[in-house]
């Protein structure tokens, strides 16, 4: 897994990130979602390295990256803080400008990186994601029922960590190692059985309901938009379209026309359709 890549730990100030990197050419950052680690990209990253330098970190609080002590409004897990990690990581690795690709919760970090660091991000790719504000403003019974984990993980009155950590093997459901890949499966399950990671993931969702929403509201009020070209990869067998066509929701946040493709697979695109994901990324990043 990740043959030819380096595996490092990089201190970016507030946290220490575990990061896999390799290849040559214009840099691209790959950001995983919940509850994965960077190894979710194991079948995509090797297809990019002939043309790109590929950087795949564990987000703060996930995998083997660290998380600072809890702060008011869960600010230590805000997407702004995670985006700052990405910018500092790329500075450490010697890259001034880079493309950023994010899946699921990682798409929120990718979006925030493009919004907060417009002088550094050349391309934005979001996979199965919308700005968190777009979800929260459309919350209704259908959304709450389908995406109930947002509210379970995000509340603090009866912390979800107590339930999850009591029996993580029963709580999480993942495909077998034969489908995920042996290394990816082992890395994911090592994280899921770590109480510190479970807390980090819950804090990610708590931040999403509070401070991340506020940051999106501030951007919209100020008229800020993503300045770089943007592509949306949507899973055809998932439910990102619960609020309607996501391709119609994104343009108000963008300075350029959206490129939008639907991949015929379930939610975890990088694992289920790596060849298609890689092909779309290579084509988009070459533009």
Whether the CB-CB separation of 206 and 66 falls below 8 Å is answered with no
DSSP string, the chain: --TT-EEEEEE-SS-EEEEEEEESSSEEEEE--TT--GGGGTTTGGGTTTTSEEEEEPPTTSTT---PPP-GGGGGG-HHHHHHHHHHHHHHTT-SSEEEEEETHHHHHHHHHHHH-TTTEEEEEEES---HHHHHTT--HHHHHHTHHHHHHH--SS-HHHHHHH-HHHH-----HHHH-HHHHHHHHHHHT-HHHHHHHHHHHHHHHTHHHHHHHHHHHHT--B-S-EEEEEETTS-GGGGS-HHHHGGGGBSSPEEEEEESS-S-HHHHSHHHHHHHHHHHHT-
b/e code 245-268 from CB counts within 10 Å (16+ = b)? ebbebbeebbeeebbbbbbebebb
Chain-centre distance of CA 40, in angstroms?
11
Q: Which two tokens stand for residue 259?
A: 């490129």
| Active centre residues (catalytic) | 104, 267
**Length of the chain, please?**
287
């Amino acid at each position: 897994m990740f043959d030819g890549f380096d595996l490092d730990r990089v201190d970016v100030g507030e946290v220490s990130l575990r990061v896999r990197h390799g290849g040559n050419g214009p840099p691209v950052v790959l950001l995983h979602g919940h509850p994965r680690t960077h190894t979710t990209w194991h079948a995509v990253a090797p297809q990019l390295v002939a043309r790109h330098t590929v950087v795949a970190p564990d987000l703060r609080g996930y995998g083997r990256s660290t998380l600072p002590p809890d702060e008011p409004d869960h600010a230590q897990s805000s997407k702004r803080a995670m985006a700052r990690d990405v910018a500092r990581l790329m500075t450490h690795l010697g890259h001034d400008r880079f493309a950023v690709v994010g899946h699921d919760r990682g798409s929120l970090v990718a979006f925030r990186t493009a919004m907060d660091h417009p002088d550094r991000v050349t391309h934005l790719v979001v996979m199965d994601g919308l700005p968190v504000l777009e979800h929260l403003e459309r919350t209704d019974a259908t959304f709450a029922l389908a995406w109930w984990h947002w509210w379970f993980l995000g509340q603090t009155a009866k912390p979800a960590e107590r339930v999850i950590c009591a029996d993580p093997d029963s709580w999480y459901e993942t495909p077998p190692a034969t489908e995920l890949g042996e290394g990816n499966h082992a890395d994911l399950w090592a994280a899921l059985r770590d109480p510190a990671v479970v807390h980090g993931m819950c804090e990610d969702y708590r931040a999403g309901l509070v401070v991340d929403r506020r940051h999106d509201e501030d951007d919209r009020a100020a008229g800020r938009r993503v300045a770089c070209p943007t592509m949306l990869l949507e899973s055809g067998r998932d439910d990102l379209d619960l609020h309607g066509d996501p391709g119609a929701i994104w343009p108000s946040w963008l300075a350029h026309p959206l490129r939008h493709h639907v991949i015929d697979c379930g939610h975890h695109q990088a694992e289920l359709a790596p060849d298609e994901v890689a092909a779309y990324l290579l084509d988009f990043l070459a533009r």
